[in-house]
Amino acid sequence: MTIRPYRPDDFPALFSANEASVPGVGAETQESLKTWIELSTCLVATNAEDQALGFITLMELGQPAYDSPNMRWFEAYAKETGKSVVYVDRIALLPDARGQKLGEALYGAAFERFKTFDEIGCEVNTLPPNPGSHRFHQRLGFREVGETTYRPGEKAVMFYARSLG
């Protein structure tokens, strides 16, 4: 397994990984996912044949073209704390690639790529519940830094941050 930067020929597999990961990640059209990938630093996990198995997208704060209330929350958090933060837009794996520690490897590459930042931040759904992702992020050293409800009884998230220092 290798972690490398995104290439356009990875897109069909990344779109499939994203679709297979909903509702843990947001559903996207092909056009919207391509836009988010182009705005981000996208790292891709590949197999021995260099076929994409999953990805992580990371956004530097302050990109008005990325219309995300979660990223706006992290922009306010960064301003309040005085910390430089990179935001994890999403991490998704193809179903057959799960359970192979690829998520940890993608995060490891992200930690290295953004090591000059103070923190890396992400959100995890609390509604709909995503207990596996909460455990995963906590195991990687993320700590809870906030929460919000977008649609009562329907959509809520917990915000996490992890020090990169």
Whether 46 has a pLDDT exceeding 90, the answer reads yes
Residue range 2-163, CATH number: 3.40.630.30
Its pTM surpasses 0.85: yes
135 by Cβ neighbours in 10 Å (0-12 / 13-18 / 19+) ranks as exposed
pLDDT digits (tens, 9 = 90+) for 47-87: 999 999 999 999 999 988 888 999 999 999 999 999 999 99
Concatenate the DSSP letters of all residues of 5-30 into one string. Answer: E--GGGHHHHHHHHHHHTTTS----H
Helix ranges, the chain (H): 11-21, 30-39, 69-81, 102-113, 131-139
